[in-house]
Structures are given as structure tokens and as C-alpha cells.
């Protein structure tokens, strides 16, 4: 499974609900999985369109544990 960290404003415009996703501290980014993005087309392309990119679980965990994710963006 792959994931994307995307801009919350872009996600809301695309029809993705924020209530069921992990968001960063400032509530500007959220995490979606590739299956959610596949509803709109190619997951990789949709991640880019929504301000992110597809990443694996290991990279996602590193980001979630980073100070940047905890504090801003």
C-alpha cells in the first residue's frame, strides 16, 4: 500500500473528506491511501494533482515522526 500527503484545500475541492484522515498539526495536510486516489484516476497522477506524491509506509512513518510534520506546513 502506498500513501500520499496532500494539501487539505485541494483534497476538499476533490471531494475527499478530512474527518477520516490523519492531518498534520496545523491541519493543512492530510494523508490518503492510493485506493482513495484511484477513485479519481491514476493514483500517482492524482497525488501530484493534489499537491503530494505517492510514498511507501516506511517513508510515511519517517515523515509522521519528523518535527516538521508535528509543527507546520
Cα–Cα distance measured from residue 13 to residue 72, given in angstroms and rounded to the nearest whole number = 21
Instruction: Decide if 56 contacts 13 (C-beta within 8 A).
Output: no
Q: Which pLDDT score, from 0 to 100, does residue 31 have?
A: 96
Q: Which pLDDT score, from 0 to 100, does residue 73 have?
A: 46
Instruction: Label each residue of 34-46 as H, E or C.
Output: HHHHHCCCCHHHH
Digit-coded pLDDT (tens) for 1-33 = 999 999 999 999 999 998 889 999 888 999 999
Digit-coded pLDDT (tens) for 37-71 = 999 999 999 999 999 999 999 999 999 998 878 76
Backbone angles phi, psi at 7, to 5 degrees: -70, 130
Amino acid at each position: 500500500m502506498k500513501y500520499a500527503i496532500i494539501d487539505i484545500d485541494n483534497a476538499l475541492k476533490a471531494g475527499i473528506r478530512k474527518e477520516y484522515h490523519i492531518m498534520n498539526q496545523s491541519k493543512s495536510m492530510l494523508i490518503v491511501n492510493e485506493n482513495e486516489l484511484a477513485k479519481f484516476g491514476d493514483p500517482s497522477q492524482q497525488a501530484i494533482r493534489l499537491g503530494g506524491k505517492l510514498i511507501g509506509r516506511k517513508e510515511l512513518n519517517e515523515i509522521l515522526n519528523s518535527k516538521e510534520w508535528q509543527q507546520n506546513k
